[in-house]
């Protein structure tokens, strides 16, 4: 009997299930985030958004209440209990402490593999909140709070959320799937975050700069050239680090997290006998 390609339906309650109100809150956060990321593609030559410093504080002010709404909506619906909050706190702290180990040097970032594995085990809703809280906690730990933080929080939240939406495989097939997802999501994270930095980091180079009011295809070509010229090495480093850590530690960490999930029995009332 082999578990290599077994599809395993899971009836176990997720740590933070995606109920209608929480799903709506995440959708609103994501819409605001997409606008915040992609605005350089759609600004006009006479736009008031001459620099990203005018936009990021507004996005920060909009995103934080929406991120809080994700948690509050779950509390009001009974979708998150004390055990889920405790698990969220532990994993956020562990992930935040791992971030300085690589500090982004050469693209070596060790926090993303745990986001993928945690989102996989505890579900998309938990993963989204974990990605946001982990990035926020790590920013406090490393004094990395700035206008880039909400973009990093949302990007990390999307990575863990996506892991929770992957097909229900087990065994080697699951590990290979998570490795592939880790590579793709790590590359996309870097490219998405580059939208924030793109208007500020081109130094007027016409081949890679934003063309306000220019054709969408032209701006996309310039953005691609900007990515290749500035961050490809870091993005590949992040993808390699994440995929290697998943390959080396994915199986035991998944077992540990699933055992913790079974012990916690999310969604069940806590009793003195537990």
Each residue's pLDDT tens digit, 144-182: 777 778 888 888 999 999 999 999 888 899 999 999 999
Query: Nearest 5°: phi and psi at 64?
Result: -60, -45
Tokens of 133: 């809280």
Average pLDDT over the chain reads 78
Tell me: the pLDDT tens digits for 235-271? 888 899 999 999 999 999 999 999 988 887 665 555 4
Question: CA angle, corner 74, sides to 274 and 143, nearest 5?
Answer: 95
pLDDT digits (tens, 9 = 90+) for 80-131: 777 888 888 899 999 888 877 765 555 678 889 999 999 999 988 889 889 9
Confidence of residue 67 (pLDDT cuts 50, 70, 90): low
Tokens of 72: 């509050």
Return the structure tokens found at 248. 């080396």
**pLDDT above 70 covers what percent of the chain?**
73
Q: How many whole angstroms separate alpha carbon 254 and alpha carbon 175?
A: 10
Q: Which residue has the higher pLDDT, 228 or 112?
A: 112
Please report the pLDDT score of residue 221 as a whole number: 87
């Amino acid at each position: 009997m082999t578990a290599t390609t077994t599809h395993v339906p899971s009836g176990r309650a997720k740590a933070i299930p995606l109920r209608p109100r929480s799903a709506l809150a995440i959708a609103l956060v994501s819409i605001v985030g997409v606008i915040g990321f992609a605005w350089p593609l759609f600004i006009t030559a006479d736009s008031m958004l001459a620099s990203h410093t005018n936009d990021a504080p507004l996005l920060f002010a909009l995103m934080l209440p929406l991120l809080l709404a994700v948690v509050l909506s779950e509390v009001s619906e009974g979708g998150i209990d004390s055990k889920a909050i405790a698990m969220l706190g532990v994993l956020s702290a562990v992930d935040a402490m791992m971030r300085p180990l690589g500090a982004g040097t050469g693209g070596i970032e060790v926090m993303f593999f745990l986001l993928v594995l945690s989102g996989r085990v505890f579900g998309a809703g938990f993963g989204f909140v974990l990605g946001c809280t982990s990035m926020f906690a790590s920013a406090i730990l490393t004094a990395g709070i700035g206008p880039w933080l909400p973009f990093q929080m949302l990007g990390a939240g999307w990575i863990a959320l996506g892991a929770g939406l992957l097909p229900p495989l087990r065994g080697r097939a699951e590990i290979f799937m998570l490795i592939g997802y880790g590579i793709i999501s790590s590359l996309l994270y870097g490219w998405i975050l580059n939208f924030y930095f793109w208007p500020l980091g081109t130094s007027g180079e016409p081949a890679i700069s934003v063309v306000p009011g220019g054709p969408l295809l032209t701006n996309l070509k310039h953005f691609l050239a900007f990515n290749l010229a500035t961050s490809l090495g870091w993005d590949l480093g992040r993808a390699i680090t994440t995929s290697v850590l998943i390959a080396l530690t994915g199986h035991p960490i998944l077992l540990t997290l699933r055992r913790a999930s079974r012990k916690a029995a999310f969604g069940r009332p806590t009793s003195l006998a537990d």
